[in-house]
Every structure is written in structure tokens, then in C-alpha cells.
Amino acid sequence: MPITVHRTIITLALVLGAAPAAAQVPGIPVYNSGVPRGIGLYADVGFPNDDAGGGTGLALTGRGGFGPLGATAIISSYNPDGPAGGDLSVGATGNYRIFGGPLVPLSVSLQAGVGYAKPDAGLLPGGDVTQWRFPIGVGFALTIPNPALAIRPWLAPRIDILRQSAGGGSTTDTEFALSGGLELNTLGGLGVHAAYDLILGGGLKPGVLGLGAHYNFRVPGL
């Protein structure tokens, strides 16, 4: 067997065995709690289980809602158990609300996203390993009004597509996944949130618990 082919097979096998089968960005749940109103800034810390690689994830996300349309952009750092340092990832989603509105407590939203990471190599081109993740799903959210605090539970099934390439070879895996969570929002825009993300296909069950805080800036007309 040629040396280059042999090296490609070994590299790809190592990647598939070591890479965590996480969500859109490693170490952070996929959030699909509906299209936001205005502009929001979210900070998260994630705790993957052993099947997802362990360790800790940190993320900063910007969200925007424009009528029925919404978009998010995320940057994260994931520190798996073992090696020091963090792997950077970036991602984005597009959301479309197909049911619900300001006076309707239940909302249903479609979501499609993309995540990009190069473990142990930063985000710039080059290096041996590249990961692309594509979450595609639907989210159901219910807003429970309260005089001082709005409670928003949500649930979002999806198809999770992971494409990994290393040393000239590549693989693509498609799994069913489910995420759900709870948001608590004050009238002033400050809030906290929690979510759990679980990939259900295959023998392993990668899961991620996410906790965070956020602030929503109300924009007139949105």
C-alpha cells in the first residue's frame, strides 16, 4: 500500500475515533427556541458527557429577529478532557417562523445551520482535519407570560449531519438529534437559559448540557 494512502487511512481513523459527535459547534447545544424579537447577545458554557468527548465548551452568540426571519452567529472554544488549550469553532443558523406571533404563545420555527471547526489547527485553511456540521430541524416554543418574568420552554428535533475530512479522505454521518431547554426573560431584557442536546443514532449517545445568560435589545418595529 502506498505510504500516502496508508497515512490517509490512519489519519482519518484517528479523527473518527477521537472527534466528539457533538452539536453544531463542539461542546455547545443547538438552540432552537424560536425567532427572537430584536437583537440578543448570549453567553454559554457547555458540559458534554463522555460520549461527546467530555471537557467544557464556551460560546458567544449573537441573535437577530426581523419579523418571521431570524439569524444567529456563534463563536466557541471547546476544551476536551486531556489536551490543554481550546479548539475554536464558528457557526451560523437561519430561522423561519411558520406559526405564532406576538399575541400567540405557541411558535413553530424551521432552522438550518452550519458549523465549522479544525481541531488542533485553529480556523485558518490548512491542517489535516476539517469538520462541517449541518443541523436541520424544527423548534416548538411556548411563551408563558408572567408579570415580572416570561417563561419559555422549547423542544427541537432535528437531523444532524457531520462531515469530517482528514488527509485527503472524508466521511459523512447523519443522525437524529433532539434538544430542549428553558428560557427565563425579564421585562428589562436580561435573562438566563439552560438546554440539553442529545444525539440518538448509533451506539453512543453524545449529550451536552448548556447553561448561560443573555440580554435582548428591543428594536422598535421588530
DSSP-assigned beta bridge partners for residue 89: 76, 117
Burial 88-97 (b: 16+ CB within 10 A, else e): bbebbbebeb
Residue 166 dihedral angles phi and psi, to the nearest 5°: -160, 130
Distances (CA, A) of 163 to 26, 132, 189: 13, 5, 37
Distances (CA, A) of 211 to 24, 197, 214: 16, 12, 10
Expressed as residue numbers, the domain containing 123 is 3-217
Distances (CA, A) of 33 to 135, 185, 187: 14, 13, 18
Residues 107/95, Cβ–Cβ less than 8 Å: no
Per-residue pLDDT of the chain (222 residues; tens, 9 = 90+): 443 433 433 343 334 444 454 567 999 999 999 998 899 999 999 999 999 989 999 999 999 999 999 999 999 999 886 445 678 899 999 999 999 987 889 999 999 999 998 876 555 555 578 899 999 999 999 999 888 899 999 999 999 999 998 877 889 999 999 999 999 999 899 999 999 999 997 778 999 999 999 999 987 765
Q: What is the DSSP string of 66-125?
A: ETTEEEEEEEEEEE-SSSSS-EEEEEEEEEEEEEEETTEEEEEEEEEEEEEE-TTT-SSS
Residue 81 inside a domain? The answer is yes
CATH code where residue 148 lies: 2.40.160.20
Count of domains forming the chain: 1
Question: Considering only CA atoms, which of 164, 184, 221 is closest in space to residue 22?
Answer: 164
Residue 222 inside a domain? The answer is no
Q: Where are the alpha helices (DSSP H) in the chain?
A: 3-18
Cell of 36: 427572537
Sign for the CA dihedral angle at 194, 196, 210, 222 comes to: negative
Q: From CA 94, how far away is CA 78, in angstroms rounded? A: 23
Residue 120 inside a domain? The answer is yes
Strand-pair category, 38-48 with 207-217:
antiparallel
The length of the chain in residues reads 222
Place of cell 452550519: 114
Write down the pLDDT at residue 8.
Answer: 38
Write down the pLDDT at residue 125.
Answer: 53
